[in-house]
Amino acid sequence: MVYSMSFVCIPVLLGQLATIAGSSPLDVRGTPGWNLARFRSLVTFGDSYTDESRYNYFATHNGSAPPPGWVDPPSNDTASGGYTWARYVAFSANVSLYDYAVSGAVCSNDLTPRYVSAINGDYPSVLEYEVPAYVADSKVVEDGVPFLHIPPSETVYSIWIGTNDLGAGAFLTDAQVPGKTIPDYTNCVFSALDKVYANGARFFVLQNVIPLQLAPLYATPERHGVYVIQEGNNSTNVTEVSYRMWETVRMVNEIFKYQLPFELLIQNRYPGARFALMDMYSLIADIYFNPDEYLASPANVTGYIDQCDANGDNCYRLSNQDSFLWFNSLHPSTKTDSIIAEKFIEVVNGNSKYATYWG
């Protein structure tokens, strides 16, 4: 079945949602509708913002995927320079983490495929690899015990994807599959959720896209953007790149804002499920514009820890790492990830200012 929606009559749609929900969308925030029994397990899908070790398996096994029942080992040497936000959640909330994220991933390789020589193929995607890997693991039983200990009432599923889909080598540089558009990407996210829901998941956190125009890779010159340096094209208008990224990210997040309640309350796409839309954009923007409330002094939100030469070699790390928002030009630091984890747990607890709850 094809799901679609029009954004022409948003006021009418919001009125319908309010009628169905019995309140306005804003009133849903923090209500008992998010009635997770206990938080025992976290299942994650995404890219390098979330991946611990899964991409490394592909890269060290000639591009072969981990077999069903493979345990993704914790790592404190990820794209954040330390532990990921998901591992911090596991530590802080004492929950089991089942991480299917893969560095470099997009939602679907049918939309924005990205080749990587280390595995002699496209980066494994959420729709074509990560979700099927989770489904395969859910069928593994060892000595009569399921590999995944994930009762629906105690398990939260998160999907955080978009950084690669919207960036260089994809939509930003018009490198998507011909004819594909931004709504194809957002619809892909819901297609992935369809499969996870069909496998029994009932509690979801959909994390929107961070303000990528503030990341050093895509920032404007006055914010010390390094797009020209890293992409090697001196004729590029960095300000234009930054503003295009800003526009795209805001558009995607607005689509999620309205499409999620539409799919739940109008289309009844996920009966019995509960969703939290976590506003990663606002969270990272808060850290960026109010750094002294989050980072060690002197806070640094335009620079980054991992310094490399133009070829990405001869890297070294700056000191006072808890003062940095960014680990490198694209990835939040492990300090930032610890903040994300703290706010994610608040989302799961049903009392976060960074979440809107639906269900």
Angle between helices 85-93 and 334-348 (to 10 degrees): 50
Q: In DSSP terms, which residues pair with 156 in a beta bridge?
A: 42
Domain membership flag for residue 312:
no
Share of the chain above pLDDT 90, in %: 85
Q: How many domains does the chain have?
A: 1
The domain that contains 290 carries what CATH number?
3.40.50.1110
Task: Say how far apart CA 112 and CA 124 lie, in whole Å.
Answer: 11
Q: Cβ–Cβ contacts within 10 Å for residue 222, how many?
A: 10
DSSP 44-62: EEESTTT-SSHHHHHHHTT
Task: Quickly tell me which residue has 């976060």 as its tokens.
Answer: 352
End-to-end Cα distance, the chain: 21
Domain-located, residue 49: yes
pTM for this prediction: 0.91
Q: For residues 45 and 126, is the Cβ–Cβ distance under 8 A?
A: yes
130-173 residue pLDDT tens: 999 999 999 999 999 999 999 999 999 999 999 999 999 999 99
| Residue 71 lies inside a defined structural domain of this protein | yes
The CA-atom distances, in angstroms, between 221 and each of 206, 215, 262, 302, 328 are 32, 12, 39, 11, 17
Strand partners, 300: 324
Output the CA angle 4-175-313, nearest 5 degrees: 130
Question: Does a structural domain hold residue 9?
Answer: no
- Mean pLDDT, range 209-237, rounded to an integer: 91
User: Residue 119 domain-assigned?
Assistant: yes
Q: What is the pLDDT of residues 31-87, one digit of tens each?
A: 447 889 899 999 999 999 999 999 999 999 999 999 999 999 999 999 999 999 999
Q: Indicate the DSSP class of residue 292.
A: G
CB 157 within 8 A of CB 204: yes
Closest Cα partner for 172 from 112, 245, 120?
A: 245
pLDDT at position 32: 47
As given in the structure block, the two tokens for residue 71 are 């345990």
Helix axes 182-198, 131-138, angle to 10 degrees: 0
Q: Which two tokens stand for residue 155?
A: 């398990």
| Residue 6 pLDDT grade (very low, low, confident, very high; cuts 50, 70, 90) | very low
Residues in Cβ contact with 58 at an 8 Å cutoff, skipping those fewer than 6 apart? 64, 65, 66, 102, 118, 119, 124
Residue 214 DSSP label: G
323 lies in some domain: no
Distance from CA of residue 188 to its chain's centroid?
14
Q: Does any domain span residue 331?
A: no
pLDDT at 234 over 90: no
The C-alpha angle 53, 76, 97, rounded to 5 degrees, equals 60
pLDDT band of residue 9 (cuts 50, 70, 90) is very low
What is the structure's pLDDT at 311? 79
Query: Would you tell me how many other CB atoms lie within 10 Å of the CB of residue 70?
Result: 16
- Reported as a single tens digit per residue, the pLDDT across 240-267 is 999 999 999 999 999 999 999 999 999 9
Residue 3 pLDDT grade (very low, low, confident, very high; cuts 50, 70, 90) = very low
Helix (H, G, I), strand (E, B) or coil at 233: coil
Between CA 359 and CA 30 the distance in angstroms is 12
Domain hosting residue 70, numbered range: 33-294+336-353
- Mean pLDDT, residues 2-27: 41
